[in-house]
Amino acid sequence: MGASYAGGRNLLVNNNAADLNALGLDALAYRDALNDEAFNRSLRPYPQYKSLNVGGAYPLGRYRREAVSLSLEKRAAAGLDVSFRYDLSKQRDDYAAGRQNYFNRDNEWSLSFTSPQRVGLTYVYNCRLGKGRHAWLFRTGGGISSMAGR
């Protein structure tokens, strides 16, 4: 059984999560006047640019992931080993789905992990081949036979 935590701040994000030249929400009060390109640009932080491309290298994102796992292992008889694992995790971030409000990152904090539960079952069967072990499945003539003690 185990638990883990991972988190990060200032992760590099792309244009979907960071728009340095976005209009503030208070600009919505101007409604149809925003269709005028010159007026629209005058409201932006950098009016000389229509848009800014951060190229996937702007340090703005953050995430947090918590996970719990349970592992069971059983060495059964006759060379059979069985292993079971169950993982439960939750990951949240503020950049995966893109931004709706570039000025309030807390509103973008949401679940982003697509498979929060995972189950794994593994089994191994030891065939006991080799020197000093029982020999199984040796070829004799035209068929396959099981020979012990060779």
Q: Please name which of 88, 99, 97, 98 lies closest in space to residue 65, comparing C-alpha atoms.
A: 88
pLDDT digits (tens, 9 = 90+) for 24-44: 888 999 999 999 999 999 999
Alpha carbon 18 to its chain centroid, in Å, reads: 20
Average model confidence (pLDDT) for the chain? 83
Domain ranges of the chain: 63-145
Q: Give burial (CB, 10 Å; 0-12/13-18/19+) of 18.
A: buried
> What is the per-residue pLDDT for 146?
43
Per-run averaged pLDDT (10 residues), the chain, 150 residues: 92 87 89 93 91 88 93 84 92 84 84 85 79 57 46
pLDDT digits (tens, 9 = 90+) for 64-85: 999 999 999 988 777 788 999 9
